A and B are shown apart, each in its own frame.
Chain A
Amino acid sequence: MSLLAEVWEAVRAIGQGMAAVNRRVGESAVTEFYPYQKPEIPPVSVQFLALIQNEDGSDRCVSCLACERACPSQVITIERKRNPAGKGFVLERFDLDFVNCMHCANCVEVCPVSAIVTVGDFEHAVYDVNMLKADKAFLDEIGRRAQVWYSPKFGVEIRKPDGSIEKAPPEMQPGGLAELLAGEEGA
């Protein structure tokens, strides 16, 4: 190959790359300015786990130990005792070692009463690793702060401004498609 041809080849190669890059000049930016602009987290996303309480402030959790058994990473510790009045159990301790949690949401999947749920609260970096060992008070606090959460039994739920808990509209629900399509046909 002559020198001229080589030079032409190089110019063509560079021109081709520049053209491909220049095609994108007019595109809108995708960068989110993180500390000031938070990402949109879908309700089903597993960023943190929380314990949800009923509207009257009582625990949803019935201490059935299903989540403790389902956890692959074995980070949930539940202590319970027999309810002296009536049947069932009373929750004494609910510890979630969030350091070793693998965010699989198996616990959420098996919970029969939707007490443990996934929330989109992801900012939990700490200086001391032991601060990530969550106890029940901590998980309750996360649950009280949560505005929207997901559990397979009840689907996506929303906390209204007055504190009442309500099921989210089908546009936000996994499997809401069936309802939406049925609605269209009916209309």
Chain B
Amino acid sequence: MAEAMAVKTTEGWVSERLRRMVATPHELHATSIRGGTLVLIIVAVLFVPHFAEFGNLQSIMYSLAAVGIGAVGMALVTLSGNLFMLSMGATAAFSTVVFASLISLGLLPTMLLVVAAGTLIGLIQGVLIGAADTNPIITTIAAASMITGFGVLWTGGITVVGHGQATWLGFGRVFGLIPNQILVMLIFAGIAGFVMQKTRLGREIRLIGMQRDVARVAGLRLIAATMFCYGFAGAAAALAGSLIASSSAQGNLTYGIDLDFNAIAAVLVGGVSIRGGRGRVGDAVVGAMFLSIIGNVLLVSGVSYEYQLVVKGAVVLASVIIGALLGQWAPRLRRRVGAAR
């Protein structure tokens, strides 16, 4: 019986893959954004002067790295069914200050400490949301003002100048080609993706995000999963803060404060369902990539700032609308692909 199944599965692998790509609304959305990003890159390479120059591609990577990491963290929170974490910007800003204060210890210990601090900040919120069952949006809003408050208390609003070397992270490149920052992002996203897709904890997070009550009756570890997501998102914000602070080895409570909305936009554009449980970490990274490329194309074509904002807003709104429309077409498409099979 099992053997027969295995044979059937191998034969059906390609069509199964195809079915998977359009099976659910968020998958369909994610697939289209991946396609859209590809089309965008091709169009930009062909029609936007200077776009394909190596320096420009690098600058896209630099502008992507921190937001991409933030989007990965945000995606975990969204997948766990807790919508958005609105304290990521504050955490990132706070982390730039911690980074600059500690950088004299050396880059690696500093990054580890900063990420540990961010994890702790996230974990505290995770405990409140997971164990005390508080509303995630309001809890993180409140946390954001308290994090900023403590930040001001500590620094007095002054830019903290670090005494140490952070150039490996700020400017370093592998073989002089790929910025180290983008490597850090890829490794981070890879870890998150592995946890979410391959591990027990990741499966639990997705199932809890999908239907919390079912997960409770099924005996899944609700509190641990929620705490993990928030801890991880806090770590992501802190890592993003490190990236931002590394270029000048300085920290200030205004650096990276807009990480929240950039990460949310990436999650929305990437097609992670905000109903929770449906979507992948990679989708958020693709969303961030799409937005970075759009932003870069507009900047490079010299479009004025007002129009850049309008276009970015339109992209997010259009992506939301298209995603939702795809959601309604998805069942029909699924039937068709199913029938073809």
Q: Do A and B bind each other?
A: no
Residues of A within 8 A of B (CB): none
